[in-house]
Amino acid sequence: MSPPADPTDRRSDDELLVRAGRGDVEAFGELIERHQGAVYRYCWRIFRNHHTAEDLAQELFVKLFRHAAQYEPAGHFTTYMYRILTNLCFDVLRRRKRRKVTEAGELDPVLSEGTELEPVDDDVDFDASLRRREAYDAVHDAVAALPVEVRKAVELREIEGLSYREIAHVLDLSGNEVKVLLHRGRKILARTLARTPVGREFGLGGGAR
């Protein structure tokens, strides 16, 4: 039996994309495998539509592969990926304007264990599940109503967990501009959620007045 793989042998994302730029399809496949889940979830949270999320995730990886030969590695692949992904998603949002694309009854991959339907547990507390879903929907609707640039910053920080510096690179802003956007976004969210029944029940509005 062969020894387990040494984690130190794991190739960096930068290296994989550089190799892809030289025609290494296997390297690009590994890159897709690493990031396709996060990319899909990011798209799904914005559009809440399975087919749209899949299409945009595929488009993102096509763009990465097409421009792989021009990529200049600097240890910031994730930042580079989120910049393209954010622009891609919000360009689509701008084209659609306010047209809602939510599909009623669609499974939320963020709240579930995965993207596959799970068997129903007889002991599931449906009231509690519904209330959690209502709370999630309230937060999503509040985030979706934010000004576009504010929403980008909030999504990247609060959902994707990027650092202030990474967000600044993704959005091509200064660190202070990112802080202003996030401060503004949090205040708007607190005020918006504090006015909703679910927000009041779950304390989603924080200390908003």
Q: How far apart are CA 132 and CA 121, in angstroms?
A: 17
CB neighbour list of residue 14: distance below 8 Å, 6 or more residues apart: 73, 74, 75, 76, 77
- Are 205 and 194 spatial neighbours (Cβ–Cβ below 8 Å)? yes
pLDDT above 70 (res 179):
yes
Q: What pLDDT, on a 0 to 100 scale, did the predictor assign at position 140? A: 85
Q: Which residue has the higher pLDDT, 31 or 108?
A: 31
Q: What pLDDT, on a 0 to 100 scale, did the predictor assign at position 95? A: 83
pLDDT above 70 (res 1):
no
Q: Encoding tokens for residue 89? A: 């998603």
Q: What pLDDT, on a 0 to 100 scale, did the predictor assign at position 10? A: 66
Domain extents for the chain?
Answer: 11-107, 124-209
Q: What pLDDT, on a 0 to 100 scale, did the predictor assign at position 54? A: 96
**Domains 11-107 and 124-209 equal at CATH topology level:** no
Q: Which residue has the higher pLDDT, 98 or 55?
A: 55
Q: Encoding tokens for residue 59? A: 């488009």
Residue-wise pLDDT for 108-155, tens only, equals 555 443 333 333 344 545 455 556 677 778 888 899 999 999 999 999
Q: Which residues of 61-88 are buried (b: 16+ CB within 10 A; e: fewer)?
A: beebbeebeeeeeeebbbbbbbbbbbeb
- 11-107 maps to CATH 1.10.1740.10: yes
Q: What pLDDT, on a 0 to 100 scale, did the predictor assign at position 2? A: 39
Return the CATH class of domain 124-209.
mainly alpha
CA 195 and chain centroid, separation: 26
